[in-house]
Copies of this chain bind each other. A is one copy, B any other.
Amino acid sequence: MELDISPLAPAQFAELNDIDGVDIFTTSIAGGYKGRDNLLLAKFCEGTSVAGVFTTSKCASAPIDWCKAYIDNGVARGLMVNAGNANAFVGKVGAQTVEQTAQAAAAFIGCTPQEIFVSSTGVIGEPLDPQPMMDALAQLDDAKRGGYEAAANAIRTTDTYAKGAGATLDLDGVEINISGIAKGSGMIAPNMATMLAYVFTDAPIAADVLDALLKPANRASFNAITVDSDTSTSDCCLVFATGKADIDPITKLDDPRCALFAEALRAVLHDLALQIVCDGEGAQKLIIVKVEGATSDQSADVIARSIANSPLVKTAVAGEDANWGRVVMAVGKAGEPADRDKLQIRFGDLLLTDQGQRSPHYREEDAAAYMKNDQIEIGVDLGLGDGAATIYTCDLTHGYITINGDYRS
């Protein structure tokens, strides 16, 4: 099944700057995935620091186990990603496959296997044969070099487009570059982790500082999206800092340059996260759920997710139906403090309900016109406190059923 490109796709792949200290190679194993390259190897210069966040799944894949074991070293020389097989739930052979392929990558780069970070995405439960990957790694040469778009394409599975986002910032008069790629389309509800996302920067940042900056940026981006409430066994976001930019190293969190870098990092992660939602399986519309007036940010987050994961809300948006009654339902089922008679619901700028009933200003034709947009903002004000949260999702369409029910993926 060849999928149509999402109507919410960006017009083109982002223009990303090369990152000094990063060399990208892509190739194909076992004929590739849908005819595309399906193996990415990124080689990093010595001195590259790394930080990461990972799925909280209790059934995490073997590559996740591997990355978690070595992330605290903070040192990376390579990133290896294959698409088409998640190397998840295959027993002890999964860990062996990671180790053997990491060894092959380390031999190519000239480092230890523990400096290779590994991800796999695709089918769960199918053993991943290491030999074709090792063969492909042994045959890597300069002809296989590529840029970030090639890298983003090599990690796609059901994604209908390659995802990239970048930023530049000025630190100490030097241009610092951040370039990131991501993949993800279904099984997206990272919640406390992310889908596959890799961000590269030439900034010289110590691993512990990078880690401290990554976590809040991740919360506001990948942790704020959901396609189908299903959390993958393989979610992972890694940030690599080569340190090639010629400025004094950033080694402490109270370094004033951290705030600048964190802002740029947040922007890149946020852009990538939205690109994942916009490529949600079957997505026709982007839905932004903004909850405010809750008793706490945590409470607002639970309510926003209850709305964003509600099949009835998502199908209503797909049908361009301003069915705010289903939003009321989703607020009610969340189990968080809510007072029916203080609830305000907006679709875009249109106030639909006020004080627990339909607003006197509500006009069905206005709401119907608004629902034709590609991007629908559902605003809920609980009127109880200052808690706020924003969650991004997409609509639930026949496309989702077709992709996940009519064919094996």
Contact = CB atoms under 8 A, between A and B. Distances in A.
Given A59-B331, A90-B358, A124-B326, 15 more contacts: A60-B332, A88-B325, A89-B340, A89-B343, A91-B341, A187-B312, A229-B309, A229-B311, A231-B332, A232-B329, A312-B404, A315-B400, A319-B406, A319-B407, A398-B398
Given A325-B123, A404-B311, A90 B357 contact: yes
A11 B310 CA distance: 32
Interface string A310-335: 11100110110101111011111111
A228 interface: yes
Contact of A319 (B186, B334, B340, B405): B405
A127 B321 CA distance: 19
Closest 3 interchain pairs by CB? A124-B325, A59-B332, A91-B357
Interface residues of A, number: 71
Contacts of A57: 329, 332-333
A93 interface: yes
A233 interface: yes
Contacts of A361: none
Given A311-B229, A335-B56, A405 B89 contact: no
A108 to B, nearest CB: 29
A335 B324 CA distance: 31
Contact of A338 (B58, B330, B402): B58
Nearest to A124: B325
Nearest to A334: B58
A125 B398 contact: no
